[in-house]
Structure 1
Amino acid sequence: MGITNSNKVINMERIDCDGSLKVTLALTAAPDIVTNPTDIALVLDRSGSMTGEPLASMKTGAKTFIDIISESTGGQASGEIGSGSRIGIVSFSSTAVQDTQLITSVATLKNAVDALSAGGSTNHADAFTKAISLFDPSSSNAKVIVMFTDGNTTAGAPPAPVAAAARAQGIIIYCIGLVGSDGVDVGVLNDWASDPAATHVAVTPDTADLEELFAELAANISKTGATNIVINEKVTDDFVVTSVLNPTVGSATMLNSTSLRWTIPELGVSAPESATLEFYVRHVGQNPGTKLVNESITYSDTEGNVVDFPEPAVAVECDVVVNPEECPLPVDLTIQSCSDAVVVDTGDVYLESMGTILQMDVTVKNVCPQKRVALAVILTEVDENGTEYQRGTKAVTIPAHSYPSCRDVLVKCIKFVVPKDLDVSGGSTQTMCSPRQFKARFIAHNIDSDYRCCESVLTL
């Protein structure tokens, strides 16, 4: 009812210790008629007192009613009433006629309304009887009668017992009254309609108000999806919210580094509607593991919908990171305020040859605690014939870690300088930026070991 779907997803299954991920909140709401298909008998007064402007205004209102029901059931694009709901037209004067059966074609329903002409007396009992007979008792659809009239009963049997019998069968009755030439008894309409009368009866003396009354009634029948939605999201202490994007519906505000609020004035009020909010979080905790992203999320709306969001979790891997080579020391520069230009002597940089700096990362798998690791990197360059040429070797000591179990160790930024004058990719005819082929080989082993050679003397 109201909110038909809620979801919360993240775009990553695994992140590094300082990694970020996107969180998406989603809601879908729909008028109640979408999840509870409804059969509606639209009963229209065409007695003689409706001649002229009243009849024209009623037709406009009735067609607006049909359009709103079609839109709220998701069938507007196809020209059909969707989601299993149907409308039938009954008109009455001295007697009542079923102008259509319960159907879904918007065009057919509107044509039936447009074909009505005024004349004769007012037989409400026969109108209720013909409306009741439209419904299939075996159907699970909700059943609604919308009675429009501009006057009191002047023909036929008393209508109140017929209306009471309809209500006893579970049929909901709405009444719209136009104060016509012979008046409308509001008390009688209240007696016919379902309780409470305040939401099931509407009366106006002005034909100009009819379209609005029909529209409001259609919205009442289709019911509101959700209004005044407030969602409060708080992420766990291991994460911080870094940015919040504009949602597709409503507005979102960061309350602090770990919480935000999403508000939506209305969703799915007149037609099925979805809304999404995307925001980014970053892991700031120090420990690895599978972690829930949100600590809590609360939902509220005016209609009292109960909404549960999933609780996605992400695997966080806090690998040991070693930087065997520091970056060059920076040169500090200061520019005074209002200076248009500055000249600074930043020292000497010796350019020995043109070339390339190769920078590589490598992950050493399953390094056990309290053991240093020796890592060697051998770089060769390959010419067009497949011959390899040495371009350098580096040896790195990876410090021991103190985690309780074996860990993967990420070794970052291993640099090799390969000058242009060592290029064997194609000789001097190649351009400065011609491709060069390299091969890197890695060797790693534990430095610390409890292995000892056998020192005992074997005596035979």
Structure 2
Amino acid sequence: MGVTNSNKVVSIDRIGCDGTLKVTLALTAAPDITTNPTDIALVLDRSGSMTGTPLANMKAGAKTFIDIIEEATDGVKDGVIGSGSHIGIVSFASTATADTQLITSVATLKASVDALSAGGNTNHADAFSKAIALFDPASANQKVIVMFTDGNTTTGAPPAPVAAAARAAGIIIYCIGLVGSDGVDVNTLNEWATDPDASHVAVTPDDAKLEELFAALAANITKPGATNIVIDEILNDDFIITSLSSPTKGTAMMLNAHTLKWRIAELGVTASEGASLEFFIQHTGQSSGVKKVNASIQYSDDEGNIVIFPDPSVTVDCGVVVNPEDCPVPIDFETVGCSDSIMVDLGDSYLESLGRIVQMDVTVKNVCPGKRVALGVILTEVDEHGLEYQRGMKAITLPAHDQPTCRDVQVKCIKFVLPEDLALPSDNGQSICPTRYLRARVIAHNIDTDFRCCEGILTV
């Protein structure tokens, strides 16, 4: 059966700007049909558009499919499907018919295929319903529907809900499509089939290729699980991996902050088996929006299973961010030749001096929409006796935001310059760049208010 399911999920769908979430990768694989008994409903289109060579080639393909499954179950061509597996035939046109039940006789199955004749409309919903009815819900066998069709639905109920109910019940659906006179809809086959589409849907415009498609599908169903699995995951640049748990199967390692590799020696070789890997990621970008978790994820194994993982996204909310000061505009210049020195005029600079730059961020909590905020930041330096010395004050107006509710507002890059000639002699001049002890106070209040002073009128 090879890989029968692959999944990737995130623990939450909304995080803050620097929020974290858990990502889970999961795989399920099942062994070959000899150790994983399988019941297969072979569903064959005999509508009017199949008249002539399409019907003949479909019959040849269906019988080749039966032969491959039969030999895979016990290793010999003895006319009997072994190891507890079964095949049943359902054919359909305007209505569907269970031409056999789930049986093991190759001769009876082939005779039912040979007896088919073309005519009528195309009722896929009834075909799925008759196929589902073949299976015994109490049976532990894997359940598979192989749907062959050459056209779109022309009668009966919509088939998609019936196919969805089958998948929900654990039935694996494969679809083979022939581009017939009324044009098979590949997107519809993808909707019916089990994911991933690449390994569960095959289409050809040439009915001579049908036997080849049926043979390839039978070989896929009999695959012996998966061996030497390698999964390479690369995160979107907005995220980094913060921790990686040990997988339930195999080994995983981080190659860098954005990349991990998961290796599994074998999965589902002797029995149906699952494996999962959990890791935590953190958003490190600066912008809000819907962010895809993955940049890419690649799968490979020795059996050539085609595995496609989902591509989850998460909504990132960075809140309201205010940058009250721009970084200084850089001045570009260049050196030419082998000069020992150059002279550069850097222009004018205002109210700044040599020394250290202190850059601070602050978050103003619960700022309601439509309200401007006055923000004051006072910086002092503290000496060894606890005395404070003024080092500057910034007064900033935060513009009103239009978010629907009160929000936290981040104010970033509030810069103060600390000239070295103002440094306190706390280390008795022992170092060039002494430790300096600073203290910041933040004052914020709303500018806009509905309050009005009462105007009293005194009457005598």
For Structure 1 versus Structure 2, the TM-score category normalised by the shorter chain is 0.3 to 0.5
Q: TM-score, normalised by structure 1?
A: 0.43
Q: TM-score, normalised by structure 2?
A: 0.43
- Which of these two proteins has the greater Rg computed from alpha carbons? 1
